[in-house]
Structure 1
Amino acid sequence: MPSLTLDEARDRTDLLTVRRMEVDLDLDRGAEHFGSTTRIHLTASRDGETFVDVAPVTLHRATLDGVELDATSLAERRLPVSLTPGEHVVEVEATMAYSHDGEGLHRASDPADGSDYVYGHMFLDAGPTVFACIDQPDLKAPYVVTARAPQDWVVIGNGRATQDADGLWRLRETQPLATYYVSICAGPYVQVREEHDGISLGMYARASLQAELERHAPEMMAVTRASFDYFHSIFGIHYPFDDYDQVFAPEFNAGAMENPGCVVIRDSYLFRGAASDDEVLTRANTISHEMAHMWFGDLVTLRWWDDLWLNESFAEYMAHRCLVAATGYDQAWVDATVARKAWGYSAERSPSTHPVAGSPAPDAKSALANFDGISYAKGAAVLRQLIAWIGDDAFLEGIRDYLGGHAHGNATLADFLGAMQRASSDELDVAAWSAAWLETSGVDVIAVDRQGTITRTPPQDRPADRPHAMDVATYSDGARTSRVELTLDSPSAQVEGLDLAAPLIIPNAGDLTWATPQLDGTTLDALPGQLPQVTDAQARAVVWVGLRDGAALSLVDPRRLVELGEAALPVEDDDSIFSRIGMHLTNRVIRVLLPEDEQDEARARMAAVGEQVLAEAEPGSSRALHAARLIARTTEDVDGRLRPWADGRGLPSGLEGDQDFRWIVLGQLARRGLLDEAGIDAALAHDRTMTGALGALTARAAIPTPEAKEAAWRELTTSRELSNYELVALAAGFWGPADRDLVLPYVERYFADVPAMSGWIGEDALSRVALMAYPSRIVTPETLRLSRATLERADLPQGVRRSMVDAQSELEEALLSRERFAR
């Protein structure tokens, strides 16, 4: 299937405008198919040949101004159309297929009660699988949508939905929308509603999650209200769309999608059991992030996919800013460091790194390759650098200029830079700043030596001259003994006023810039004794993320991280740091970077940390919850911990009846061969929910027998019935047996079988499966050889290629680390 190219998009923009879209959907035709009739009202500027995008199961009828088009001319989702100057109407009637891979109109069945639910996800180019359209982001148009649905269903969409006497749902006409922002959700959803600042707020969930929705809604509504108030105050434009509905949908691929007036969010955010403080913070961040998109992306939309950052970087930055300023989540920037920036730095280390802005996107599919931690986390960090350079008042003035000047239209990097230049001092060259920060790739290494010299080293293969507005701080026995703010705009400089005798010198301690801090030898040696005493959570987060980078680049022995985790995690009081670093130590450092013969002992040390924290933490606290999860992932105490917890005995306070925690424990028992198919079936009988079904799939894939591995692999790579979530669940359990010989034959099979799945799974879903199923735990030269050979294939799907490139980069890091720090 061809992907729309930039040249093709420009040709269509030059030829036509889309004035109005009318879409009629019939969702009452069973579980596999739905009806779709579309009327595209457009105006052509001249004679020209073009095409309408549509991907039907059956194309029943297509007309141009009432004249039948040749339906047999439809090829590869393109229906040719010949236009003359003036106004036209293209009408297309088709039968479409529901998807199970999270793209288009996804339909999922809830095993808790047998009910079906539908959500629409048109990003990036899935719109034509739902309705005929001119599918490119710069041809925005108002939408009028109707939907016929089963009698017990409700319908939610971009415009307020009302039901006629005959049962037909009509959605109010929208403001101009890009095709990929159109969404419709339908099913027996339950809801809570309230009003705020003239905006009707709704939250929807599956009927089986009604109790969870009602329990969590007050906190989520509070974040929603506070975010609206904050964004109204700084953007100067009231929310520009219809009702603001947030739909917690089953099997949603991403964290959330910012469809105007109909935000779709993964329903795992409606925590069934215990939820930690950092999980609630992450959900709050998601809510605020998607709302920021109502202005950045929805009101003002990128003209082409190479400006994806205009959506994501701004929403990422604004959400964290809003949480700190308006919602009481004052540790949001610490969470951003250990969760989001760590993700972005990992993307920067990969061969697939790219600039924040202006990355070539010759076709729509290639844009997905840049939908990563650089567009999100690095972009947000770069915006903080822009603010440090031009000032916050000028930044906000520029934002208001940008949003007001392009409202309900499209914009480019040049438009943004123009607004910032108008708002800033004439002496400042915003274009030069952009060339240094937005239009270059790579991350600089910042180091401070014991003579007070600070150095800035860009990657050798990606030279750049980036000025850093940042700080350097020193610590001794927990106290900060000095802090200096500076702008580093040269390769090196002398920092005056630092306490150079302090045990810890931490560059970028406030995490004000995008850079990897390289710690000096004295600081590295002092960390186990000193870091646990540092009271500044932001500085601790910076140290940990710097060590992650150092270990990945083979500059720091991964054993140092285990040693520091053993010393610092027992007293770590920031939820995000404890959670994210604990996961990184167990999932990456111990089971990938360390040699196999050292992994059991290192896991035992982490289990001991978990036991210590659990014994000392307040019962039922977030800290106790994280400690219990750490124990469940690492302990070898089968009879004292795993079996009793699986049976519901001796559980920590707050985890009684927590099925999600139970599935973690059951997965560990299955991996050890202590839970068979019958035991998993028995557990599933007590948790017949979507989450329970996923937990059972992961546990089955983890059973360490040849038969179980073969069955799991066959199901993962050949079943066309499994959803996107089910495929990921299988992959999550597959590679973990103690006996690696059980899975070694599947290393080669991965590189043949997973790319072949592109025949029936969408690009976005398959890229996630490819990343999760990659044999990253089999750290051998043979795995690397097979991976490199596969990447030489010309027919590799783009999403799979990007996932393999990133996973292979981490495999190369692990091989180098094991070689460099071999004992």
Structure 2
Amino acid sequence: MTLTRDEARERSQIVRPEHYDIELDLDRGPREFASTTRLTFTAQNGASTFADLDPVSLESATLNGRKLPASALDGRRLHLTDLAEHNELVVTAAMRYGCDGQGLHRAEDPADGEAYAYGHLFMDAAPRVYACFDQPDLKAPYDVTVRAPGGWSVVANGAMREVEPGLWRAETTKPLATYFVTVCAGPFATVTDEHDGIRLGIHARASLRDHLEAQAPEMLTVTKQSFDHYHSLFGIRYPFGEYHQVFVPEFNAGAMENPGCVTFRDQLVFTGAAGRTEHLVRANTISHEMAHMWFGDLVTMQWWDDLWLNESFAEYMANRTLEAATEFDDAWVDVAASRKAWGYAAERSPSTHPVAGAPADDTDTALQNFDGISYAKGSAVLRQLIHHIGDDAFVAGVRAHLERHAFANATLADFLEALSQAAGRDLTEWAQAWLVTAGMDTLQIERDGDKSGETASPRLVITPDPDRPAKRVHTVRVAAYDRTGAEVAADDLHGVSGHVKLPNIAAAIPGGESVALVVPNAGDLTWAGVAFDDASLEAMAGALPGIEDATTRAMIWTALAHGLARAEVAPEQILAIAEAALPAETQMPVLDVATSLALGAVVRRFLPWSERPAALAGLADLAERVLAEADGEHDPRTLAGARLLAGTGDAGRLTPWFRGEDLPDGLDGDTPFRWRVARRLAQLDAVTIDDLDEALAADDTMSGRLGYLTARASFPDAATKVWAWEELTAAPSEDSPAHSNYEMNALASGFWSADDEATLAPYVERYVSDIPRMREWVGEDALARVAALAFPAALASEELDVEVRRMLDQQLPASVRRSVVDAHAAMREVIASRAVFVR
């Protein structure tokens, strides 16, 4: 039973936790662990409420020395009656390890047979580990003790020490929300350091030791630089003692901001070639999670509808910090290239919601709002806020907010009060437009608009979302370029809306003649859709390679993706622009977004099936040109071209790469890249299962097994699809345990490739019937990803539209509904595009 906001509000008026003492025994085998919770709390005398608990079996529960009957546990709720003013609840239970990335997840590393366990208690998984009042506004200090197998080390929120062999005890923590509590245990490889009086630790699986030790200096440098910058910016020292960063297997999110013990997906410890984008994303993730130590951990939202106080701030602060304090001063390029595209897709969907105050009546609903709105849009809105009130006022308001609510909870109203006081102005109207109203404006250039006298004056037209109108004002830059991409003129506009004249651009064009390319939102300063005029689209292929500013080039690719989705840009136009621009592109984030758009969106989704083989061949030729232009291993085009060719090339070109022959510079022995090639060869039916088995034997690691499953599911024949679908959706049993969250994702990622639609068509109905049933054994967070990856986007059609609408008429788990709503909206974009551009 999911917790509602009303229930949380009522419980917070009845109880107040004072202290948690948790004992975990992880030395009980691979399936279960023991948990004992001693919770002291105050309450209204004589009142009743419930604690949250989700055990395999409840061994005992006492309240103030009184044994509770077995019937007190109803589902996930342990009912507590006749409370005293001061109370002690003691619960001992057997708990089940998770395999879906939630609760206390346990994974075995096939590389060496070692096992690892880690806690991921977001958003409502804490009851799978200990008894608690599981809501963000009931914070308390924790003492944690862990019994672990010999040879394991244990890391937790408080500094851990082994007090006797196999017994680990943590220092008492500061007050924490329940979902921040974690324990990470296993035979970790560890690198330690110290900075500014803070003990630092970086940990990963033992089989990743060499990679961890080689990459730790870069990660520690970003960590130290981020600490220095946040201390200076916020005026409050990091408050949670030691600072550990643990790279854990099969992690659902990118990372989790557990105070003192941040967990990351361990793909961020690179085992193959990694380009600038991967390094930048890792640095961003490190800095993002550290920002949460202040935004989220020190000051926590009152309820999930203010989750933006966590994510929007961490997203913005990380990019600001990388630019100001680290070598990754191109952070905003990646934002323009990838994060904005993610956010714009979320904004186009019917599931869009306001940045702040999004309705979250229960925890299942709230989970769905951790999306591109909460992250990318929220970050962009904060940049606009700074333009609106000034950076000094913003920083002063942030400091006041943190000091006022330290170790407690806060709301949107609290934050706006602090900012308004610092800025000396009322922000109600601004917040209503940018934070509380969903939707986005559209920026477009009218070259012959606002005619006066004999000349035409170009202007920027800002059009509100017709479905969600709001009076937004923008700080934005409009730039004009000639046909070679050289900047001709620009207008920097502050606080504008409606129809805006562009005097600098007009003055640079004698007689009012049009320039080749005009770019609204050059430099990617605001949050808005960009609709290019026809003349700019025509000039794009020639001008784009010559535009000097990488952030603007990245923003253009994101705008083209937005135009593709809105049936304003033809798929063929994007392929033509890619063909002209990519061989000259030298920024990896831009290469990544452009190749993903061309292959993943245009060819794999928007083009009709009959046109895909020729388009794939064209992209393979483009990949060869990109490779030919590259100047060795350190040129981003080497890796980008190789990856594009690995997804589009024919068997003759890729088979030698699969064998380890004639590889591009830097890719010899790169097993993750080999699995990319294997997937494409499987799609072409140009390898055998025996070939894949042999490759797995040579790379029997976690990443190797995932690569194998994706490639194995990618064979185009009907028998393979039967096998893959059953592997993905069959209920677990004693003889056939559940696949892990990552294994399900790998199967779903490979499934929808085949030579023809007929092979895949039967699985539309299977998707409708089978995916919702998986909620019986898969947690909401993991199932949301499976539902998105397994959606039959490759089969976009009116027939599929009918099936999906039928599915949405059913009662669905919240995770499945949100994924289907978003995927359905994206599929409707494909149908709309074909109606305009396919003849």
**Normalization by structure 1: what TM-score?**
0.98
Q: 2:120 is matched with which residue?
A: 121
Contact 2:474 2:497 in 1 (8 A): no
How far has the Cα of 1:719 moved from its partner?
A: 4.6
Aligned equivalents of 2:485 and 2:795: distance in 1? Answer: 40
CA deviation map 1:457-490 (0-9, x unaligned):
1221111111111111111223211111113543
Where structure 1 has 5 or more consecutive residues not aligned to the other structure, the ranges are none
How far has the Cα of 1:493 moved from its partner?
A: 2.3
Aligned equivalents of 1:488 and 1:504: distance in 2? Answer: 24
CA deviation map 1:50-78 (0-9, x unaligned):
00100000000000111101122211200
Q: 2:672 is matched with which residue?
A: 660
Query: What code does the residue aligned with 1:587 have?
Result: G
Q: 1:770 is matched with which residue?
A: 787
Alignment of 1:549-564 (within 5 A): 549-564=562-577
How far has the Cα of 1:335 moved from its partner?
A: 0.5
CA deviation map 1:646-676 (0-9, x unaligned):
0000011110000000001111111111222
Q: Which moved more, 1:597-606 or 1:135-144?
A: 597-606
Q: 2:548 is matched with which residue?
A: 535
How far has the Cα of 1:803 moved from its partner?
A: 0.3
Contact 2:731 2:777 in 1 (8 A): no
Query: What code does the residue aligned with 1:681 have?
Result: D
Aligned equivalents of 2:126 and 2:82: distance in 1? Answer: 22
Q: 1:342 is matched with which residue?
A: 341
Q: 2:446 is matched with which residue?
A: 449
Distance 1:513 1:410, change over 3 A: same
Contact 2:731 2:774 in 1 (8 A): no
Q: Which moved more, 1:43-52 or 1:759-768?
A: 43-52
Aligned equivalents of 2:52 and 2:252: distance in 1? Answer: 23
Query: What code does the residue aligned with 1:485 have?
Result: D
How far has the Cα of 1:172 moved from its partner?
A: 0.6
Contact 1:465 1:489 in 2 (8 A): no
Aligned equivalents of 2:353 and 2:116: distance in 1? Answer: 38
Q: 1:3 is matched with which residue?
A: 2
Where structure 2 has 5 or more consecutive residues not aligned to the other structure, the ranges are 448-456, 733-737
Q: Does 1:586 align with 2:599?
A: yes
Aligned equivalents of 2:596 and 2:340: distance in 1? Answer: 16
Report the 3-state secondary structure (helix = DSSP H, G, I; strand = E; otherwise coil) of the residue aligned with 1:482: strand
Aligned equivalents of 1:590 and 1:431: distance in 2? Answer: 45
Contact 1:448 1:455 in 2 (8 A): yes
Q: 2:472 is matched with which residue?
A: 466
Report the 3-state secondary structure (helix = DSSP H, G, I; strand = E; otherwise coil) of the residue aligned with 2:466: coil
Query: What code does the residue aligned with 1:754 have?
Result: I
How far has the Cα of 1:545 moved from its partner?
A: 1.1
Aligned equivalents of 1:72 and 1:237: distance in 2? Answer: 47
Contact 2:388 2:495 in 1 (8 A): no
Report the 3-state secondary structure (helix = DSSP H, G, I; strand = E; otherwise coil) of the residue aligned with 2:612: helix
Q: Which moved more, 1:623-632 or 1:383-392?
A: 623-632
Aligned equivalents of 2:494 and 2:610: distance in 1? Answer: 46
Contact 1:675 1:703 in 2 (8 A): no
Query: What code does the residue aligned with 1:785 have?
Result: V
1:645 to 643, 657, 666: 657
CA deviation map 1:606-649 (0-9, x unaligned):
2122111212212212320111011111112x22x211000000
Q: 1:674 is matched with which residue?
A: 686
Q: 2:450 is matched with which residue?
A: none
Q: Percent identity?
A: 52
Q: Does 1:789 align with 2:806?
A: yes
Q: 1:494 is matched with which residue?
A: 501
Q: Which moved more, 1:348-357 or 1:363-372?
A: 363-372
Q: 1:608 is matched with which residue?
A: 621
Alignment of 1:509-548 (within 5 A): 509-548=522-561
Q: 1:181 is matched with which residue?
A: 180
Q: Which moved more, 1:355-364 or 1:537-546?
A: 537-546
Query: What code does the residue aligned with 1:369 have?
Result: Q
Q: 2:717 is matched with which residue?
A: 705
Aligned equivalents of 1:408 and 1:714: distance in 2? Answer: 48
Aligned equivalents of 1:217 and 1:5: distance in 2? Answer: 42
Contact 1:676 1:703 in 2 (8 A): no
1:761 to 770, 778, 781: 778
Contact 2:585 2:637 in 1 (8 A): no
Alignment of 1:681-700 (within 5 A): 681-700=693-712
Q: 1:373 is matched with which residue?
A: 372
Contact 2:105 2:118 in 1 (8 A): yes
How far has the Cα of 1:390 moved from its partner?
A: 0.4
Q: 1:398 is matched with which residue?
A: 397
Q: 1:572 is matched with which residue?
A: 585
Aligned equivalents of 1:677 and 1:493: distance in 2? Answer: 61
Q: Does 1:429 align with 2:426?
A: yes
Alignment of 1:126-525 (within 5 A): 126-425=125-424, 428-450=425-447, 451-476=457-482, 477-498=484-505, 499-500=508-509, 501-525=514-538
Q: Which moved more, 1:584-593 or 1:250-259?
A: 584-593
Contact 2:248 2:264 in 1 (8 A): yes
Report the 3-state secondary structure (helix = DSSP H, G, I; strand = E; otherwise coil) of the residue aligned with 2:253: coil
Report the 3-state secondary structure (helix = DSSP H, G, I; strand = E; otherwise coil) of the residue aligned with 1:415: helix
How far has the Cα of 1:747 moved from its partner?
A: 1.1
Q: Which moved more, 1:603-612 or 1:683-692?
A: 603-612
Report the 3-state secondary structure (helix = DSSP H, G, I; strand = E; otherwise coil) of the residue aligned with 1:320: helix
CA deviation map 1:325-365 (0-9, x unaligned):
00021211011011101100000000000000011111111
How far has the Cα of 1:597 moved from its partner?
A: 2.0
Contact 1:557 1:821 in 2 (8 A): yes
Contact 2:249 2:266 in 1 (8 A): yes
Contact 2:150 2:165 in 1 (8 A): no
Q: 1:803 is matched with which residue?
A: 819
Aligned equivalents of 1:777 and 1:189: distance in 2? Answer: 41
Q: 1:814 is matched with which residue?
A: 830
Aligned equivalents of 2:665 and 2:556: distance in 1? Answer: 32
How far has the Cα of 1:585 moved from its partner?
A: 1.0
Q: 2:454 is matched with which residue?
A: none
Aligned equivalents of 2:205 and 2:464: distance in 1? Answer: 49
Report the 3-state secondary structure (helix = DSSP H, G, I; strand = E; otherwise coil) of the residue aligned with 1:164: strand
Q: Which moved more, 1:23-32 or 1:524-533?
A: 524-533
How far has the Cα of 1:85 moved from its partner?
A: 4.2
- Which consecutive aligned stretches of 4+ in structure 1 deviate over 4 angstroms post-superposition? none
Q: Which moved more, 1:108-117 or 1:703-712?
A: 703-712
Aligned equivalents of 1:538 and 1:474: distance in 2? Answer: 15
Query: What code does the residue aligned with 1:392 have?
Result: D
How far has the Cα of 1:431 moved from its partner?
A: 1.3
Aligned equivalents of 1:570 and 1:667: distance in 2? Answer: 25
Contact 2:189 2:205 in 1 (8 A): yes
Aligned equivalents of 1:611 and 1:512: distance in 2? Answer: 34
Query: What code does the residue aligned with 2:79 have?
Result: P
Aligned equivalents of 2:615 and 2:722: distance in 1? Answer: 30
Query: What code does the residue aligned with 1:602 have?
Result: A
Contact 2:715 2:753 in 1 (8 A): no
